[in-house]
Homo-oligomer: A and B are copies of this chain.
Amino acid sequence: MMDQNEREQLMMDIRNGHYTGPTSGLARGYAQANLVVLRKKDAYDFLLFCQRNPQSCPLLDVTDVGSAIPKMMGTHADLRTDLPRYRVYRAGVLTEERTEIGELWEEDMVCFLIGCSFTFEEALLANGIPIRHQEENVNVPMYLTSIPCEQAGSFHGNMVVSMRPMSQEYAIRASLVTARFPSVHGAPVHMGDPASIGIETIQKPDFGDSVTIKEGEVPVFWACGVTPQAAAMASKPDLMITHAPGHMYITTKKNEQLGVL
């Protein structure tokens, strides 16, 4: 576990652009979050999209219009600089990656922070459940599924899932452990046959990296906070800024504070 001073040093390094890499495994103990930034005119539909799709888009915080300060998840933060890497989508097309978004900021923008499965991975490890992509030192594999999200106004799209392979025995325990954390995607949405949720080739993830699935293991799928990026590609708002996958905002909340029991 990292202490608060170490977290603040890391946040300074990210803010100053000295650290621009992925955040998995950093600031252990602190919850990390996905970011979505939209103009106010698109904010109502997106807020409703999150409310209707709580497994893929569990909201941790929403800033006031024009503010980049997440009051519940870091009163001293600035979400324009405090993530190592951002993605910019214009009319549904990924146009650039940046390490800060100050130049793109507009006075009517709203920031949404969405729970990240890194939180429940800590709980899985604490329960003795190994995590393959951590063992293989790669990004978690993520897939665009055929599971439709509930539409909200202009926002629609299919669910993105993350996948962790494990024994059937571990899969049952993993379901119980992650169900305690609904605000970081909660229990799995599926386990077993990838084709039944529209995944053609399990070794070709749409985001992140491929991992080994050993004999006797079952792939376990959780709703993923990259779902809004798929919704952006499908729904084509004029401008939507997100984190780059794996390059998250590190909140001031401890992972355990997000547990419901």
A195 to B152, CA, bound (A): 43
Q: Do residues B44 and A261 form an inter-chain contact, with CB atoms below 8 A?
A: no
Q: Which chain B residue lies CB-closest to A47?
A: B47
Residues of B within 8 A of A179 (CB): 260-261
Q: Does A109 contact B (CB under 8 A)?
A: no
Q: Which chain B residue lies CB-closest to A176?
A: B261
A contact residues, range: 20 to 34
Q: Does A43 contact B (CB under 8 A)?
A: yes
Residues of B within 8 A of A72 (CB): 52, 150
Looking at the complex, which one of B51, B71, B182 makes contact with A260 (CB distance below 8 Å)? Answer: B182
A176 to B72, CA, bound (A): 25
A interface residues with partner B (beta carbon < 8 Å) = 43-44, 47-48, 50-52, 59, 62, 64-65, 71-72, 150, 153, 176, 179-180, 182, 186, 260-261
- 7 A-B pairs within 8 Å (CB atoms) are namely A43-B44, A47-B48, A48-B62, A51-B51, A51-B59, A176-B261, A261-B261
